[in-house]
């Protein structure tokens, strides 16, 4: 479902002013016996500011094993994989303090401030993301060229992919 939001977030990223325009958020259930989305939308938070809001109910669990696949895509002629594409053990990742800079660390550091994805396993009942906006820090560590981007998040437990979330945005100078 393509949300009709074309929204703009201004901030100063060092030397230049960059504009981040969220364009779409899609949540897809791959196995309906595991989760259901009560909410999956972009929300206007203020002038030119838009946040990601997600409510996912976990129908099974508690989960002590989870795998996440995170990839970045950039639009050339359709979205193509761009720079990052990782699969990692989510429970292991959340139980260790990750000091090394990586795509997944930047992503989850940002996400953990606005969601309940902020603790070690087990996970149960629900996953909630509230008003997640692009942080200055996110792009400070990730000096991406201008363009249309998509971040794809796929989660698995018991070694089977259960759900997928795609968020797209536009990055401009
Ligand atoms: C991601 O990496 C895997 C393993 O290196 C590769 O097989 C796959 O095609 C890549 N996929 C994307 C979406 O980049
Ligand atoms: C991440 O998931 C995508 C889609 O299932 C897959 O093409 C890719 O190979 C995965 N990446 C890695 C590093 O396994
Ligand atoms: C995680 O997020 C929830 C919901 O926002 C909050 O109530 C809780 O205190 C946070 N826990 C940690 C360890 O930061």
pLDDT, one tens digit per residue, over 118-139 is 999 999 999 999 999 875 566 7
The average pLDDT across 155-167 equals 96
pLDDT recorded at residue 150 = 95
Answer whether residue 60 shows pLDDT above 90.
yes
Question: What is the pTM assigned to this prediction?
Answer: 0.85
Please report which helix (H) or strand (E) contains residue 110, including its range: helix 103-113
**Mean pLDDT value across residues 28-55:** 92
Least confident of 41-55, 60-74, 137-151: 137-151
Q: Ligand 3: which of 116, 125, 127 to mutate, judged by most atoms within 8 Å of the beta carbon?
A: 116
- Integer CA distances (angstroms), 25 to 40, 54, 63, 165, 166, in order: 7, 9, 25, 7, 6
Predicted confidence at residue 22, as pLDDT, reads 80
pLDDT at 101 exceeding the cut of 90: no
Structure tokens at 78: 């359709």
Residue ranges of the domains in the chain? 26-38+52-166
Among 10-14, 84-88, 108-112, 136-140, the range with the most confident prediction by mean pLDDT is 84-88
Q: Which of 30, 69, 154 to mutate to test the pocket of ligand 2 (most atoms within 8 A of CB)?
A: 69
Give me the pLDDT at residue 13, please: 38
Sign, CA torsion 104/81/126/6: positive
Number of the ligand closest to the Cα of 156: 2
Residue 9's SS3 state is strand
Nearest CA to 6 out of 165, 141, 173, 172 is that of 172
- What is the rounded distance in angstroms from the CA atom of residue 161 to the CA atom of residue 171? 29
- The pLDDT, as a whole number, for residue 138 is 67
Residue 86 Cβ inside 6 Å of ligand 2? The answer reads yes
């Amino acid at each position: 479902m393509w949300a009709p939001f074309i929204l703009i977030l201004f901030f100063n990223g060092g030397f230049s002013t960059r504009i981040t325009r969220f364009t779409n958020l899609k949540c897809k259930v791959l196995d309906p016996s595991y989760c259901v989305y009560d909410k999956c939308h972009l929300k206007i938070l203020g002038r030119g500011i838009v946040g990601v809001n997600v409510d996912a109910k976990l129908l099974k669990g508690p989960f002590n094993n989870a795998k996440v696949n995170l990839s970045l895509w950039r639009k050339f002629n359709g979205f193509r994989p761009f720079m990052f594409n990782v699969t990692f053990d989510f429970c292991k990742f959340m139980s260790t303090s990750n000091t090394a800079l990586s795509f997944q660390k930047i992503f989850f550091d940002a996400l953990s401030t606005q969601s309940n994805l902020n603790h070690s396993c087990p996970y149960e009942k629900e996953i909630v993301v509230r008003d997640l906006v692009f942080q200055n820090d996110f792009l400070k560590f990730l000096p991406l060229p201008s363009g249309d981007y998509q971040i794809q998040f796929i989660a698995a437990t018991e070694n089977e992919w259960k759900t997928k979330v795609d968020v797209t945005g536009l990055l401009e100078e």
